[in-house]
Amino acid sequence: MSEVNTVLEGRTILLGVTGSIAAFKAADITSRLTEAGAKVCPVMTAGACSFIQPLTLQTLSRQPVVSDIWSEGQGWQPGHIELADRADLLLVAPATAHCIAQFANGLAPDLLTSIHLATTAPVMIAPAMNGKMLAHPATQANIATLRDRGYHFIEPDRGMLACGYEGEGKLASVDRIVETVVHFFRE
C-alpha cells in the first residue's frame, strides 16, 4: 500500500461541489481520493447538478450523492448532521464566490451550507471563479474572514478562464488539490 493510501485510508472526506463550470473536475477529484483510500461523500449544490450529473460522482465514489436538504435520509437524525459528524474534512472544490460568501456569513440555505455550519471538521476551499469576482473586495473580505477562522485555501491557478478572460480564478489542478489533501492528513 502506498503512503498516499495509508494517509487517506479510512478518512471521510465530504466533497462539496458548487455551481462552477469547473464542477466537472470533481469527477477526477472524487476518483483520485477514492483510489487513495478515502471515503468520499459528494455533496452537490443545485448549481453543481446543472454542470455535472450526480450519478457520475456516485459511481466514482461508490457513495450516495446528496444535494437536497429536503430529501434527507430515512433515519431519525437529519442527514446533514449525520454527515457533518462523520467528516474528517470538508473539501469544497470548486467553491464559487457565492458559496464562500455564504460560509463567511454563516448562511445555510442548502445542504452544503447546512453541513458546513454543523461540522467541526476542518474546511478546505478551492475557489474557482472569474478573476474580477475573485479580486472583488467583498470576495477578498470573505476569504480573509474564513482564513481568520482557520480555513485552508487551495489557491486558484492563473490561465484561460471559462468566461474568455485570462487571469487568476481557475480551479487549482486536480493534482495540487489531491496533494494538498494528502499533505493535510500527513501532518
Task: Give the other-Cβ count within 10 Å of 117's Cβ.
Answer: 13
Q: What DSSP state is assigned to residue 71?
A: G
| pTM, entire model | 0.93
Which residues are known catalytic residues? Answer: 163
* Whole-angstrom distance, CA of residue 151 vs CA of residue 71: 29
Q: Which three cell numbers stand for residue 182?
A: 494528502
Indicate if the pLDDT at residue 156 is higher than 90: yes
* Whole-angstrom distance, CA of residue 65 vs CA of residue 42: 5
- Residue 87 in 3-state DSSP? coil
Q: How far is CA 37 from CA 8, 87, 109, in A?
A: 5, 15, 32
What class does CATH assign to 3-186?
Answer: alpha beta
Q: Which three cell numbers stand for residue 46?
A: 443545485
Transcribe 2-70 into DSSP letters.
Answer: -HHHHHHTT-EEEEEE-SSGGGGGHHHHHHHHHHTT-EEEEEE-HHHHHHS-HHHHHHHHTS--B--GG
Q: Which residues contact 57 (CB under 8 A, 6 or more apart)?
A: 15, 17, 26, 27, 30, 42, 44, 65
| Cβ pair 52, 17 in contact under 8 A | yes
Average pLDDT, stretch 70-96?
81
Average pLDDT, stretch 144-148?
98
Q: What DSSP state is assigned to residue 172?
A: P
Tell me the average pLDDT of the chain.
92
- Domain range list for the chain: 3-186
Segment 42-52, tens digit of pLDDT: 999 999 999 99
Segment 100-137, tens digit of pLDDT: 999 999 999 999 999 999 999 999 999 999 999 999 99
